[in-house]
A = this chain, B = another copy of it.
């Protein structure tokens, strides 16, 4: 049997164990046959139908169950042992075993969840070679490292229609994520129908909300893909949209209107009035009846306390009850809410802030602060999940997120028992800068690398191999209908304004958005800001830059022609792009960036000449160029010329 290293599979997440076999199972029109054995349920039939459809789409081979050319033995035999929980939990057995031989494939799993994960693995294995489409012979034993592998989607700051949510769930299932955290309310919008308090969605959403029928549809869609759905209703802060219809919930006098800006705002629920808890009791009762998951997220983050400070009645309440700080006041509120959540049969989740001394230990903390905060909670017996390090909106590379481990850093010294309390993690897609058009380009493919961190063995950390497989999974995701590739092209076309797309793409491929919160700092943005600029198009993670940097790092003799080719293309791009920039309101802000690219590419070419001996390596030359490259390093239009460090390396090498 071939050694493991020789079997360069394209799987993401990497399975726990992969044992290559000999030969290959051919995939043709007969693949339409998947045979289900053992425990049966409708969800398994649907999953089998979906697998056939996805294989047909990936291969372009028509597959229609039941009408194949011949009637062969099923090329994929599935055995499922028993049902998973009626409402999916974080304690499910998601393992599976997949065996592929040239004669057929067999998938064994204790529950439908494992079957579905195994089918996604099978789909990823489908490839083409000189003999046609097929799956390599292999034995895979697989199970997740963490039981909680999530994505939080903020549909409140920018509204995401139902189709976008479903498409996101398609992608999640493909990389074995199992928790969809739905951030449904914010200062900027209340996004779900409440029959009990209709002014919430009627006055708080600009008409952009999900009906309860649609919510049920999403929950069913997610369950069919092995994904839990957890709603978040952020309180007591981040709640301005509630107050538009129900100002009596707030701590200030109002009136309120839907917030159009981004940021942290003063309005907060009034923790001192019984009517607020009565309202929340009724509301949480309605929502917990709608969402079956055992958890219910109450947010709890970023209360600035200004409304509390300004309200004499609240100040009086604090004095009367010996509450010494706003943090204590929030803890009082959160304990009350936790009681309500528990009364309705659910466990509470909140962001770090919800954890206080006398909070019951059966809550779950979602940490935007980091592993240290999770570790502190775990030591107190509280379960948690990590989100710090997985914020997709901050413009970091896949490698950056990939390096973050829920049990790394401050959680590394936990005991084995305490580690069990770290259930996994959730990536967060906050939507200040994300419209439906941009959604997939901001979530995918980076999310797949994070999914691997949540699923695969801890020691799977090879970044180069991750990127190789990320390319493959990215193409697979496009076959599923995700739009990260498509929308990138369309946005480039918009920037090109009817002119040639090439020069715009050349620039877009070597820039990245500024990281972290630098974008918000650079420019005032709000709900009405067009997100159609180069910064919106630019990928947080440029394949081109990574490729070029690799060539410069390696710099074998064979790499020099490609390095030169790239540099010449960048140098000459300004000539082609400048006239387009002059005629484009959207590209105008990128004039200097384009000039800088050309200038540093020219410096790169000079360095190459020196390296190849075509020019003498003059002493003062580098110093002369340093200033130019340092200027080019500064962000322009909130964009970083991310190819600059590699060119600088080239210059240094030419010393």
List residues of chain A with CB under 8 Å of any chain B CB. Answer: 10, 29, 57-62, 64, 66-69, 127-133, 206-208, 258, 260, 435, 437, 472, 475, 478-479, 485-486, 489-491, 493-494, 497-498, 527-532, 536, 582-586, 588
- Chain B residues lying within 8 Å of A584, measured Cβ to Cβ, are 128-130
The answer to whether B62 touches A127, judged by C-beta atoms less than 8 angstroms apart, is: no
- Chain B residues positioned under 8 Å from A67 (CB to CB): 206, 258, 260, 527
**A583 and B490 in contact (CB under 8 A), knowing A60-B531, A62-B528, A498-B472?**
no
CB distance B586 to A128 under 8 Å? yes
Q: Which of chain B's residues have a CB closer than 8 A to the CB of A478?
A: 490, 493
- The 3 tightest CB contacts between A and B, nearest first, are A60-B532, A132-B585, A128-B497
Which B residue sits closest to A536, measured CB to CB?
B60
Return chain B residues, CB-CB under 8 Å to A58: 494
B62/A530 in contact, CB under 8 A: yes
B531 in contact with A585 (CB, 8 Å): no
**A62's contact among B130, B529, B586, by CB below 8 Å, is which?**
B529
A489 touching B489 in the complex, CB below 8 Å, given contacts A129-B583, A498-B127: yes
Q: Are A130 and B66 in contact (CB under 8 A)?
A: no
The closest CB in chain B to the CB of A472 belongs to B498
Judging by beta carbons under 8 Å apart, are B531 and A130 in contact?
no
Would B491 and A60 count as touching, CB distance under 8 A?
yes
Chain A contact residues: helix, strand, loop or mixed: loop
Taken together as a complex, chains A and B put the C-alpha atoms of A131 and B479 apart, in Å, by: 38
Q: Which of B29, B68, B485, B491 contacts A530 (CB 8 A)?
A: B29
Asked whether B489 lies within 8 Å of A133 as measured between CB atoms, the reply is no
Report B-chain residues with C-beta under 8 Å of the C-beta of A206. Answer: 64, 66-67
Residue of B at shortest CB range from A62?
A: B528
In the bound complex, do residue A475 and residue B497 qualify as a contact, i.e. CB atoms below 8 Å apart?
no
Contact, CB under 8 Å: B59 / A532: yes
Query: CA A128 – CA B207 in complex, angstroms?
Result: 30
Min CB gap A241→B, angstroms: 13
A584 to chain B, nearest CB (A): 6
**Which of A131, A133, A530 has the most C-beta atoms of chain B within 10 angstroms of its own C-beta?**
A530
Q: Are A530 and B437 in contact (CB under 8 A)?
A: no
What's the minimum C-beta distance from A528 to chain B, rounded to whole angstroms?
Answer: 5
Q: Is the CB of A475 within 8 A of B491?
A: no
Interface centre among A64, A128, A208 (most CB of B within 10 A): A128
Q: Would you give 25 A-B contacts (Cβ < 8 Å), ordered by A?
A: A58-B494, A59-B494, A59-B532, A60-B437, A60-B531, A60-B532, A62-B435, A62-B529, A62-B531, A64-B208, A66-B207, A67-B258, A67-B260, A67-B527, A127-B498, A128-B586, A129-B497, A129-B583, A129-B584, A478-B490, A479-B490, A485-B489, A486-B486, A486-B489, A489-B489
> Shortest Cβ distance from A593 into chain B, in angstroms?
17
Closest approach, in angstroms, between the C-beta of A367 and any C-beta of chain B? Answer: 32
With A206-B64, A530-B29: A130-B585 Cβ-Cβ less than 8 Å? yes
Residues of chain B within 8 A (CB-CB) of A493 are 475, 478
> Complex formed: what's the CA distance from A582 to B128 in Å?
12
List chain B residues, Cβ under 8 A from A62. Answer: 435, 527-531
